[in-house]
Amino acid sequence: MKFDDLDAKMRVFETANDVCVLPQIYMIARIDGRSFTRLTKEVHNFKAPFDETFRDFMVETVKHLMNCGFRIVYGYTESDEISLLFDLNENAFGRKHRKYNSILAGEASAKFSILLGSVAAFDCRICELPNMQLVVDYFRWRNEDAHRNALNAHCYWRLREDSFSKSEATKRIEKLNTAEKNELLYNYGINFNDVPNWQKRGIGIYWSAVEKEGINPTTNEKVTTKRRQLVADYDLPMKDDYNKYILGLVE
C-alpha cells in the first residue's frame, strides 16, 4: 500500500471524533493543576494557605500561555487554576478541542515545571459560551470561587495551627456559614477584609499598550513607540464591579 493511501486510511481513526467550536462562539480554556495538593504540601514545602512564590509561578505560566501563539484577550488565575479567554475570531487549528486542550496543557506543564525545578502537570478543557453575558458570568463565577476558597483555606490552616487534625478542621468549617467563618478568623486575630486581594479574588492578566522610548537607527533621534505588554492585576474588583471590569477589557 502506498504511503498516501495508508496515511488516509489511518488518519480517520485519529480525527473521526474531532469536535470543533463553531464560529462566533466564545472560547474559554480552563487549565487545572494535577495533584497539586500533594505537589505543594508534600513534594514541595510551599507556605499555607497562600505562597507568593507559587503565586508568581502561576502568573508567569499565564503570561507564557498568552504568548504561545493564540490570540488570548484575558487570563485569570486563582489557586492552581488558570482561565483564558480567546479572541472571538481565534481560528487556530480549525478551533479543534483536542488541539487546544493538548497544546495548552502541555505548554502550562512545561513552563510551570521549569519554574518549579521539577515535574508538574496540568489538564485543560474548553468551555463554549454563546454570548458575552455568559463570558462575564464565567469569570464572575471563578472570582467568587476564589473568595470562598480563600476564606475556607484561612480558616482551615488556622485550625490546623491550633492542633486540629485534618478531619477535625474540615468538619468544623463545614458547619459554619460565611459570617461564622469570619468570626472564627477574628478570634484568631485575623480580619479577613485585610487579607491581600489577590488571595481573595485571584489575579487578572491582560494586554495593555505602553509607550517606550527608543532610538531611530537611521536618524539617531529619540522616538516613542507604543507596544503591547502583559499587565498582572493583583487588586481585582468583586461582584458587579468585576462584571464591568471584564466588559471593559473585551469590548
More confident residue, 200 or 225: 200
CA-CA distance, 26 to 134, in Å (whole number)? 9
- Range 10-250 classified under CATH 3.40.50.300: no
- What does the domain layout of the chain look like in residue ranges? 10-250
Give the whole-angstrom CA distance, residue 152 versus residue 204: 22
Global pTM value: 0.90
Q: Residue 9's pLDDT is what?
A: 84
Residue 1's pLDDT is what? 82
| pLDDT band of 70, cuts 50, 70, 90 | very high
pLDDT at 4: 86
Spatial distance between the Cα atoms of 192 and 121, rounded to a whole number of angstroms: 32
Over residues 82-95, the pLDDT tens digits come to 999 999 999 999 99
AA identity, residue 132: M
49 pLDDT tier (thresholds 50, 70, 90): very high
Percent of the chain with pLDDT over 70: 100
| Cβ neighbours around 149 below 10 Å, total | 17
Contact 207, 228 (CB under 8 A): yes
Mean pLDDT of 162-180: 96
Q: Cα angle vertex 32, ends 31, 35, to 5°?
A: 155
